[in-house]
Amino acid sequence: MPKVWFVGAGPGDPELLTLKAQRLISEADAILYAGSLVSEAAMTWAKESCDIEDSKGMTLAQICDWLISKAKGNANVLRLQTGDPGLYGALIEMIQPLDAAGIEVAVVPGVTSAMASAAAAVETLSLPEVTQTVIFSRVEGRTPMPDGESLEELAAHHCTLCLYLSITLLKKIESALLNAGWSADAPIVVVYKASWPGEQQIIRGTLSDIREKCKLAKINSQAMIIASPTLGARHWSELKKSKLYDATFSHRFRKAERT
């Protein structure tokens, strides 16, 4: 039965592909990759006979037609997407035509840029008694936000915000967070091309100056914006420690020490 694999290529560094993704690339007869965001280095594992196409100039209909035609030709087909296919990847929009054509699909997760950006900046997205919640979102632009999901409403939780596809909207971000009660000197980290060898940039600033810093660095695409009360915790003199490793805390692998 024809089958199309939707595979997460991760944030950019080909070494962050999963082992399963590498294997599927090596076995594929046809690969359609998102060339505007996925590094060509990810094709290192493809066999010489593999039919490789870049989808950056294609419409959704053209992408689906390509996948269907290859799959119906009994090819082992792979759609290679940036990050994780299920996050801002138009996954269901591509799967519905494949379902209608009777073509089996499967999805392989990938490392999303929020995690790669936090790793690059050596930051944690959660901390005990600081925040235990992470919101992945974007700022309203050409794509409207559903009711209840405006950035100001999300920011009112004062937890970690990882904002995709929004680097050109830093002015809106500043306004929304200030209106939600964030301080003008709240730390912000912007990571451009997280994990891309030789291209990654990390910009640190505050809510009031990050826009100017990004403008000076000429960062206007492929950037993750992280706003969080945890930023900079590496340099705090005091931290609330995790109970998991607390000597006075019991769990099924260790009994608490008596004090």
pLDDT for 86-123, tens place per residue?
Answer: 999 999 999 999 999 999 999 999 999 999 999 999 99
Q: What is the pLDDT of residue 246?
A: 61
Determine, yes or no, domain membership for 156: yes
Q: Check whether residue 87 and residue 125 sit in a common domain.
A: no
Half-sphere exposure of 10 (CA within 13 A, CB side): 22
Cβ pair 161, 229 in contact under 8 A: no
CA distances (Å), origin 216, targets 33, 46, 162, 164, 210? 31, 39, 22, 20, 10
Q: Check whether residue 73 and residue 171 sit in a common domain.
A: no
Q: Check whether residue 172 and residue 142 sit in a common domain.
A: yes
Calculate ∠ Cα 152-131-181, nearest 5°. Answer: 30
Q: What is the pLDDT of residue 252?
A: 63
pLDDT interval class at 141 (50, 70, 90): confident
Domains contained in the chain, number: 2
Least confident of 40-54, 125-139, 155-169: 40-54
Q: What is the DSSP string of 16-59?
A: GS-HHHHHHHHH-SEEEE-TTTS-GGGGGGS-TT-EEEE-TT--
Record the tokens describing residue 1, joined without a space. Answer: 């039965």
Residue 44 has pLDDT above 70, yes or no: yes
Work out the average pLDDT over 18-26: 96
CA distances (Å), origin 255, targets 151, 213, 235, 246? 44, 50, 31, 10
Half-sphere exposure of 59 (CA within 13 A, CB side): 2
Pick from 108, 136, 163: which residue ends a domain? 108
Q: Check whether residue 160 and residue 173 sit in a common domain.
A: yes
Q: Check whether residue 8 and residue 90 sit in a common domain.
A: yes
Residue 61 has pLDDT above 70, yes or no: yes
pLDDT interval class at 75 (50, 70, 90): confident
Share of the chain above pLDDT 70, in %: 94
pLDDT tens digits for range 171-185? 999 999 999 999 999
Q: Is 27 exposed, middle or buried (0-12, 13-18, 19+ CB in 10 A)?
A: middle
- Could you tell me the residue range of the domain that residue 202 belongs to? 113-235
Q: Check whether residue 184 and residue 98 sit in a common domain.
A: no
Q: Any idea what the CATH number is for the domain that residue 39 is in?
A: 3.40.1010.10
Q: What is the pTM of this model?
A: 0.91
Q: What amino acid occupies position 143? A: T
Share of the chain above pLDDT 90, in %: 83
Dist CA 108 CA 91 (whole Å): 12
Q: Check whether residue 27 and residue 68 sit in a common domain.
A: yes
Work out the average pLDDT over 159-182: 97
Q: What is the pLDDT of residue 39?
A: 80
Dist CA 132 CA 250 (whole Å): 21
pLDDT interval class at 35 (50, 70, 90): confident
Sign of the torsion angle spanned by Cα atoms 64, 65, 69, 75: negative
Q: Check whether residue 124 and residue 140 sit in a common domain.
A: yes
Q: What is the pLDDT of residue 28?
A: 96
pLDDT tens digits for range 201-254? 999 999 999 999 999 999 999 999 999 999 999 999 988 777 666 655 666 666
Dist CA 110 CA 112 (whole Å): 6
Pick from 108, 136, 153: which residue ends a domain? 108
